[in-house]
Amino acid sequence: MSTARLRDLRVFPGFGLLSVGCVVFLYAPIVVLAIYSFNDGRSVTRWAGFSFRWYQTVFANQNIQTAAINSVVIAVIAATVATVFALGAAIATVNRKKGGGEGAYVVLTFPLMVPEIVTAVASLVFFVAVGISLGFATILIAHIVFCIPFAYLPIKARLESMDGTLPSAAADLYASPAKAFLRITLPLLVPGLVSGWLLAFIISLDDFIITALVAGPGATTLPLHIYGMLRLGMTPEVNAISTLMLAASTVLVLISGLLGQAGRKH
Amino acid sequence: MMRAQSTPVRRYAATGSLAMLWALPVILTLAYVLPFAGVTLWSVTRPELGLQNYVRIFTGADFQAIFFRTAWVCLVSTAITIPIAYLLAYYWVMGSGRRSRLVEICIFIPFWISVLVRAFGWVVILRNNGLASDVANAFGLGGLSTGRNVWSVITGMVHFMVPFAVLPMASVMRKIDRRVLLAALGLGCRPLGVFWRIYLPMSLPGVFSALAMTFIFSLGFFVTPMILGGGRVVLTAETVFVQMFQTANWGLGAALGVVLLVAVFAILWLSQRVMRIEQLMSR
């Protein structure tokens, strides 16, 4: 009965139409991109028949493949290392109001608010000052650093919602701290770790600004390559890459959604 | 209770993560604080010691025009983003199961799509002789201004910001006690009145944090204005890049970066104050 009354609240005249409009707005560029990736012609706006030719072009393009592999390798390493740091940070800061926990939280979440171009310039200045030559290594270091806050938040949230008495019970049953951590805390943290890792992975994979500044000559990632292609002129090849990336991120979202549901059931 | 929860965590802190605990501040300082200190140093030492870069930024008409444009674009895109995001957040939280899930997918999938790809999608739609002008022509609205202009940039920015703005609003809306709404309905308030006089005021904290977040994010926008503006709508973030890497005015670029950073923190601080005041008022 109460839900029936609440329904009165939901259905305001015009709201439905407006929200459909919002959804169309959110999806319009994505759908258009995907459709024209199958265009037979060279135009990204004039339809000239259906074909897979641009996908063939993408798969035949050695540079795109190198860039894509670079991107994935960097994203996997950066997300993994960042998740390990974030796990340590989360364990060290959660429930530690006194011992600098609050301070660490502020330091860890501030980078999320800093404009990316400023972070990019700061990273570059740092690498130049320290004297590390720009390339694959600097991209990797920069990515690890900016991924830590993203990995940290879901892990922290999970740790905070965790039943704190369980590790305590393990300790009472004579589990050593290390054992209690490995067999109780860590398994319970898995959903947080997974979503933290995925978030860091996507953020790293998608990053353009910081990568562009610290890449130096030679090293390239997928976003850098796509940007180069956009500057040279738009062909449906960019649409095809974009659609492939779209498919990949959709799969990732679905995986994380499924894992999230599985986590909720436990 | 509090104690029982904190002890096991303390035990780990005392053993396994002790090294991490000590290493962490060092790493964080190295990673986050030092580089920014370096930028600040560059801004007052390049090309020579002094505040000349800041003087140049705050007195030059060209930079003032850029700041003004940035502020204007950010305000307009925030003003458009918030209502759209509010509507979506409302449907996500209040909608029936299926509708809510549909909105959820709508919010999250664009979230995960490369910012370059999204900007490119809008270029395709909005560029001269693109789909938008075709549609406009079909409806007899010839001469609709499309292509690389401020409105294209704002469209792309709003599109990027909406999913981000939905999250804080939805999390506040989720905490609104539905019994309050039912009580109002039961006392004869009309649904629109319930929304206007109860739901909206109760969701305002979420709106405020979404506002602050959207505005702060939009200040630092780089990729979207660069691609959709095509050099015609240069905002502050792109200016930092241009000064650093195209004209090699390192000091000036660094100073602009510092100004951008200070602006962000000022807004953050201000929004925190506003929210605290808002909390006081609600009590």
Domain ranges of chain A: 2-36, 61-265
pLDDT at A27 over 70: yes
Could you report the per-residue pLDDT of B15-64, keeping only the tens digit for each? Answer: 445 555 666 667 777 777 888 888 999 899 888 888 888 988 899 889 99
CB contact under 8 A, B39 and A118: yes
Please state the CATH superfamily assignment of the domain spanning residues B61-282 in this structure: MetI-like (1.10.3720.10)
Q: Under CATH, which architecture does the A61-265 domain have?
A: Orthogonal Bundle (1.10)
Confidence category of residue B13, pLDDT binned at 50, 70, 90: very low
> Higher-confidence residue: B80 or A28?
B80
User: Residue B78: how many CA atoms within 13 Å on its side-chain side?
Assistant: 20
Contact B39, A120 (CB under 8 A): no
Of A266, A117, A112, A131, the C-alpha closest to A192 is A266
Q: ipTM value, please give it.
A: 0.82
Centre a 10 Å sphere on the Cβ of residue B196 and count the other Cβ atoms it contains.
12
Q: What is the pLDDT of residue B1?
A: 37
- Number of Cβ pairs closer than 8 Å across A and B? 264
Confidence category of residue A7, pLDDT binned at 50, 70, 90: low
Centre a 10 Å sphere on the Cβ of residue B173 and count the other Cβ atoms it contains.
20
Could you report the per-residue pLDDT of A175-197, keeping only the tens digit for each? Answer: 887 788 888 888 888 888 988 99
Least Cα separation, residue B161 to chain A (angstroms):
10
Q: What's the burial of A209, exposed, middle or buried (CB within 10 Å: 0-12/13-18/19+)?
A: buried
Of A244, A241, A216, A247, the C-alpha closest to A227 is A241
pLDDT at A45 over 80: no
Distance CA B108, CA B93 (A): 14
pLDDT at B158 over 90: yes
Domain ranges of chain B: 1-45, 61-282
Q: What is the pLDDT of residue B2?
A: 41
CB contact under 8 A, A88 and B21: yes
Q: What is the pLDDT of residue A183?
A: 85
Name chain B contacts of A178, Cβ cutoff 8 Å. 15-16
pLDDT at A33 over 80: yes
Distance CA B10, CA A13 (A): 54
Distance CA A222, CA A224 (A): 5
Contact B128, B94 (CB under 8 A): no
Q: What is the mean pLDDT of residues A159-187?
A: 82
A244 interface with B at CB cutoff 8 Å = no
Confidence category of residue B191, pLDDT binned at 50, 70, 90: confident
Q: What is the pLDDT of residue B263?
A: 92
Output the average pLDDT for chain B.
Answer: 81
Tokens at residue A171, please? 């300790």
Q: What's the burial of A213, exposed, middle or buried (CB within 10 Å: 0-12/13-18/19+)?
A: buried
pLDDT at B81 over 90: yes
